[in-house]
Every structure is written in C-alpha cells, then in structure tokens.
Amino acid sequence: MPIHFVAIDDENQVLALMSEYYMELLAPVDGMWETLHYVNATGFLLKTDGTDVAFCKINDKKQLLVLYTFSAHEEKTDEIVDALISQKKIKSAKMASSHPASFNACLWRAKSVKADTLLYGHSGDKVEPVLNSNQRFVVAQYADFDTAQQFFLEQVNFNDEFGYTDHLISRSELFFLYESDQLVATGECRLSDTQNDYADVGMIVHKKKRGKGLATLVLKLLIDNARKKKRLPICSTTADNLPAQQAIKKAGFVSVYRIYEMFF
C-alpha cells in the first residue's frame, strides 16, 4: 500500500506524539537532542488509505531523527523506512538504539554507519564530591549572566544568541565552580519538562584547567544536585570526545545506548 507523508502544522499534536515516542524508549532521550535536534525538525504523519500509521521527524538535511510506528501498525515499520528512502524523503538517519524497532529497520538498510553520540545513565552508586578549601560551587544568578556568556564563548566557542543562558539562570540550573575566586568550570543540571524523572547534566571546564579532575568533580556535584531534586541524572557526549567520556565514566555513568548515523 502507498504511504503518504503529511506535515503536521499543529505544534500541540507534535508535542503529544513526541510524548508517546518518549514513553516507548528503553532509556530517556538526551536533553541536547530533544531541545536542539528534535525541536527543529519537521513532524510528519504517515498515512495509508487515510489511516495514520506512524509519526516521524525529519530535519532540513533530510535526516530521519524520530520514527514512531503506532502500535496497531508496528509490522509496517520496515515498509515505512523503505518508503522514506524510495520517495527521497531522507538521505540518512540519526537513530537511538534505545528505540529498537526504528533503529533496527534503519540499520538493516544502511549502506554505511557512523557512531555519533553516547547516551549515559548513572550506575546508581553513591557519589561523595569533595570540594577543596579554595573551591566554591554556587548557583549562577542574573548578575552572572555576562560572566557565563563570556565563559561559554571563550572556552567552547558558544555564542549564545538563543536565550539559552538566560533560561538556565531563570530556572537555577546553571552552576559555577570557583577556585580562589577564579571561574574554572560551569555545570548544568537541567530538569526535563517532558521526561519528569530525569535531569540532564553537563559541564564545561576552563581550557587551562582541563586534565585535573575538575570535570568529574563537577559531574559528581551535579549528580548530587539532581538526586536532591528527586531526578535521575543523564548525560551524553559525542563519539570523538574521549576526554569527556573518561570524565563521565569516572563520575559513575554507564553508556548502554548510542546514537548512530546511518547512510542510505
């Protein structure tokens, strides 16, 4: 049967379908993917004979990011991926292994595969972060806005033109680590609005302070913060960022699921 693709104009419908998709995942989706990748992709309903059979999200690079086949039509997942490829709707897919049905259907048809992102959940082990006498870990305030933006720009070349810093500060989700009054690292503990059991954690360490264990220290402090708020900490990093992977592992995180880019 032919499969037709209909763009969804109603953002509330997209949000509802994404919520259903999150419920199907074996592990939570990373906040970076949710806010930077999924949000900016176009949502489509897939129809056969006028019946809705699936929902997907495709970005402007023709990458398939989400494929959620409705439970009554799960047997059509392979057919749907074939249609996406044959109708030239997609050139590739970036899929999480935490959604096996769509992941495996894409993997089966891929001509080549590239590792993209490691998704981490915490082992659950106790963490006991210890600050030295010259260290302070504090919640960033509105007065720290310019300091935060300058740090992001200088340390990771992130020029925040989207209100990201302001959003974090307004929710008390941005933290500073000082050593003798010098800002040496920032941390984020973002409480997910769509996956209410989880908090995304992340850190940035000053270029001159890397390799000294500060990344792991900040992550442990953020884990502790997430747990105090009754959230489970999660995080991610790219496949090529080996220093971050080492710091994340030392903080007690485990990567079971990954995101791969698959080329058709």
DSSP assignment of 129-196:
----TTEEEEE--GGGHHHHHHHHHHHH-----SSHHHHHHHTT-EEEEEETTEEEEEEEEEEPSSST
Per CATH, is 4-110 categorized as 3.40.630.80? yes
User: Coil, strand, or helix at residue 171?
Assistant: coil
Structure-block tokens of residue 200: 């995304």
User: How far apart are alpha carbons 71 and 52 in whole angstroms?
Assistant: 11
Delimit the CATH 3.40.630.30 region(s) of the chain. 122-258
Distance between CA 253 and CA 211 in Å, rounded?
Answer: 18
pTM equals 0.89
Structure tokens at 69: 């086949």
132-170 pLDDT per residue, tens: 999 999 999 999 999 999 999 999 998 888 888 999 999
Which CATH topology does 122-258 take? Aminopeptidase (3.40.630)
**pLDDT tens readout for residues 161-199:** 888 899 999 999 999 999 999 999 999 999 998 888 999
Residue 112 tokens read as 């080549």
